[in-house]
Chain A
Amino acid sequence: QKEVEQNSGPLSVPEGAIASLNCTYSDRGSQSFFWYRQYSGKSPELIMFIYSNGDKEDGRFTAQLNKASQYVSLLIRDSQPSDSATYLCAALGGSYIPTFGRGTSLIVHP
């Protein structure tokens, strides 16, 4: 059974701080990983994709992947109230069907 685990939160950070979101996965065959942002009642919005060990940066977002530890993280620098949402981690194996975690709720307070 492929599992992707995330702390449901909520994670509360002050505006301007770094938010750190974590995700672990069980399937060692997973090759690629996604981070989606989901506002309440809306569809998931792709914000990061990573497949190589190490860091990948895109604007205020940095995704980190450690395949040996089966661990993916997302850092959001200079957090804004508009970043308040649920962040979904997903792992993709050979079937091209991502397995999703339950998501971590992030609250950025002014």
Chain B
Amino acid sequence: EPEVTQTPSHQVTQMGQEVILRCVPISNHLYFYWYRQILGQKVEFLVSFYNNEISEKSEIFDDQFSVERPDGSNFTLKIRSTKLEDSAMYFCARFPRQVRDYTFGSGTRLTVV
């Protein structure tokens, strides 16, 4: 069972709506990451977050996306105006102190209709 819990596990939303995906990691994690995986495709990096700031982001992570750690523990990914092509599995990942512990959360399946 992943140590990082994501909520919701599945979300269906209408095109143009805003969605917020949540990641609840165990404390003492240094880096957090968001990835997405379109069905049948590669796991793709979206953004990394260190010390409450964006560390790196990919070309996919455009102005429609934002990340926050609003209460110091939960870690959120917001998509402001969803498009059909945003339908994917979204994973957060944690990287505590050792590279070998790079593990993924339980995932959220986002379906945009």
Task: Check A68 for interface membership: any CB of B closer than 8 A.
Answer: no
| Given A32-B99, A49-B99, A96-B48: A44 and B104 interface contact (C-beta under 8 Å) | yes
Q: Of A32, A43, A92, A103, which is within 8 A of B104 by CB?
A: A43
Q: Of A32, A44, A101, which is within 8 A of B91 by CB?
A: A44
Q: Assess the A46–B102 pair: CB atoms within 8 A.
A: yes
Q: Assess the B107–A43 pair: CB atoms within 8 A.
A: yes
Q: Report how many A-B pairs have Cβ atoms within 8 Å.
A: 50
B113 to chain A, nearest CB (A): 18
Per the CB 8 Å criterion, the residue count for chain B at the interface is: 23
Task: Check A59 for interface membership: any CB of B closer than 8 A.
Answer: no
Of the four ranges (under 10, 10 to 19, 20 to 34, 35 or more), the interface on chain A belongs to 20 to 34
- CA–CA, A90 to B45, complex, Å? 12
Chain A residues contacting B44 (CB-CB under 8 Å) are: 100
Residues of A whose CB lies within 8 Å of any CB of B are 32, 34, 36, 41-46, 49, 51, 88, 90, 92, 95-103
Residues of B whose CB lies within 8 Å of any CB of A are 2, 31, 33, 41-45, 48, 56, 89, 91, 95, 99-107, 109
Q: Which 3 A-B pairs have the closest CB atoms?
A: A49-B100, A100-B43, A43-B107
**7 further interface pairs, Cβ-Cβ under 8 Å (given A49-B99, A88-B43, A99-B45):** A41-B89, A43-B91, A45-B104, A96-B31, A97-B45, A97-B56, A103-B42
